[in-house]
Amino acid sequence: MKTYLGIEFGSTRIKAILIGDGAEVVASGAHDWENRLENGVWTYTLDDISEGLKDAYAKVAADYKSKTGEALTEIGAIGISAMMHGYMPFDAEGKLLSPFRTWRNTITADASDKLSELFGFNIPQRWTIAHLYQSILNGEEHVSKITSVLTLAGYIQWKLTGRKVVGVGEASGMFPIDSATCRYDTAMADKFDSLIASKGYGWKLRDVLPEIAVAGENAGTLTEEGARFLDPTGTLRAGAPLCPPEGDAGTGMVATNSVRERTGNVSAGTSVFAMIVLEKALSKLYPEIDMVTTPSGAPVAMVHCNNCSSDLDAWMRIFMEFAELSGHPMRKPDLYDLLLKNAMNGDADCGGVVSCNYFSGEPITHLDEGRPMLLRKPDSAFNLANLIRNNLFSALATLKIGLDILLAENVKIDRILGHGGYFKTKGVGQKLLAAAMRTPVSTMETAGEGGAWGMAILAKYSADGNGLTLEDYLDKKIFAGMESVTEAPDPKDISGFDSYMQSYKAMLKAEAAAVEAF
């Protein structure tokens, strides 16, 4: 059986999906993990990364063997994906010079502001170049020793193939991209080199950034050392081709067939982001909007929020604990379905209940740290349905603030698809997102598989694309005939969400005070 493997490093789970020639899921495996806050930096250790990768792969290999009776010895093509952005600097010996700084950090405001002004282009705090320049501004000793800077996806690709290469979509979260050439923007790179010239480092920016490949290109071959890094048992053979590694934004676009102009997708889990493929450039720079690319290099407007479902998940753990104490424990999926469906019986505006879902800082609303917080007036309708509905609204509220900018720019959107854990309970998250965006939202059968499935598709495309564009390949070879479910926005939900947003925006003053005081 010809198989294609996609592995995605999410914020709380590393997921591996093995698909067959028809893009059907053949086997899957996952490893749960959590980032840690060390010395003010959200990070994962190299051991966290390697052990998690091995465990996820071991589980997908075991699942494959249990279903087919055969060991997984060969793979047709492999694709690696990870949470976008972040900072992993290495020296000439391959030593990591500073702890991996993830997308979740909001510690680069000074660098972000200075580079955005220098380039005339929005540089978000989580981008690799912002972390690099902030390290320079901080006078960090490690910068002079840098020979390469990678993202997490780029690091795994390097360990598996020996090549320092990333996909163009992933690269667009490191440094601005020229979509005409699918390479780093030359003029901006020259400006950066001039900016730091007086420091006397022995490197230029393009010397330390990874090379770029576009979807469909070969980006390396699994080496013997790489095969053991993935599978220490020695069962997996070397030689599998790897496609360009991508960020979770790119795999989300592929998993929802949202790579054509005027299409978009929303990925909602620990973080939430919307990707809209543009027909034309925006009229001006917006600090709330990131400009990135599809895996084939087309320009994309991205609204990225650091916080989404963490606070909802925290409340769910409370109810899970209560169920266990009551002597009637529930399976996690059943608990979510029960409470989320009941939330649809709540008041349209959540009855005056409002909460801030910020576990970490949120650049869109200019907060460097987060404090999860629930607010209500004495006469608010505080009941279970409104509490959970409020958490669902709160998870999308900051995203809506960014999306409203695009709507004001008259950005045309023909189709929105949702994917990620937020949409697993049918008829809930999808319906509320439709209200927030005032446009129909669709989900597909593959939405629950998410980015790992999308990455497996990119691996398959690199092996058998046969000259088709990525857009045509997805339409003709992957999604033809695939069923989707569409929810139109309900006027009652739209009105309720708009009312909730007034309370949410007002509540942010209290959130800022909580960060200061607590």
Position 249, amino acid: A
Dump pLDDT digits (tens) for 429-447.
999 999 999 889 998 865 5
* More confident site: 482 or 312: 312
Mean pLDDT of 46-70: 98
- Which tokens belong to 277? 């493929």
How far apart CA 412 and CA 291 sit, in angstroms, is: 16
What single-letter DSSP state applies at residue 272?
Answer: E
Mean pLDDT of 348-360: 97
Q: How close are the terminal C-alpha atoms of the chain, in Å? A: 57
Least Cα distance to 147 among 88, 212, 211, 90 occurs for 90
pTM for the full predicted model: 0.82
Is 90 exceeded by the pLDDT of residue 63?
A: yes
- Which tokens belong to 439? 């446009």
Contact by Cβ (8 Å): 273, 305: yes
- Which tokens belong to 415? 């189709």
Percent of the chain with pLDDT over 90: 86
- Which tokens belong to 16? 């591996």
Write the CA distances from 140 to 115, 136, 444, integer angstroms: 18, 6, 46
Q: Which residues contact 247 (CB under 8 A, 6 or more apart)?
A: 81, 82, 83, 84, 85, 151, 153, 167, 169, 170, 173
How far apart CA 360 and CA 398 sit, in angstroms, is: 13
Dump pLDDT digits (tens) for 78-90.
999 999 889 999 9
Predicted pLDDT at 283: 81
Contact by Cβ (8 Å): 125, 84: no
Q: Which residues contact 137 (CB under 8 A, 6 or more apart)?
A: 110, 111, 114
Dump pLDDT digits (tens) for 452-464.
999 999 999 999 9
Least Cα distance to 331 among 211, 424, 215 occurs for 424
Position 173, amino acid: G
How far apart CA 159 and CA 152 sit, in angstroms, is: 11
How far apart CA 302 and CA 289 sit, in angstroms, is: 6
Contact by Cβ (8 Å): 28, 16: yes
Q: Is 194 helix (H, G, I), strand (E, B) or coil?
A: helix
How far apart CA 488 and CA 63 sit, in angstroms, is: 38
Dump pLDDT digits (tens) for 469-480.
999 999 999 998
Q: Is 394 helix (H, G, I), strand (E, B) or coil?
A: helix
Rg (C-alpha) for the chain, rounded Å, is: 22
Predicted pLDDT at 407: 86
How far apart CA 402 and CA 364 sit, in angstroms, is: 7
Predicted pLDDT at 415: 85
How far apart CA 47 and CA 118 sit, in angstroms, is: 37
Name the CA dihedral angle for 285, 288, 291, 295, rounded to a multiple of 10 degrees.
-170
How far apart CA 103 and CA 85 sit, in angstroms, is: 6
How far apart CA 393 and CA 355 sit, in angstroms, is: 9
Dump pLDDT digits (tens) for 103-140.
889 899 999 999 999 999 999 999 999 999 999 999 99
Dump pLDDT digits (tens) for 132-171.
999 999 999 999 999 999 999 999 999 999 999 999 999 9
Percent of the chain with pLDDT over 70: 99
How far apart CA 20 and CA 456 sit, in angstroms, is: 10
Is 80 exceeded by the pLDDT of residue 448?
A: no
Residue in this structure with the two tokens 């934004």, named with its chain if needed: 249
- Which tokens belong to 501? 């947003």
| Chain mean pLDDT for the chain | 95
How far apart CA 108 and CA 372 sit, in angstroms, is: 22
Mean pLDDT of 11-26: 95
Least Cα distance to 17 among 28, 26, 8 occurs for 28
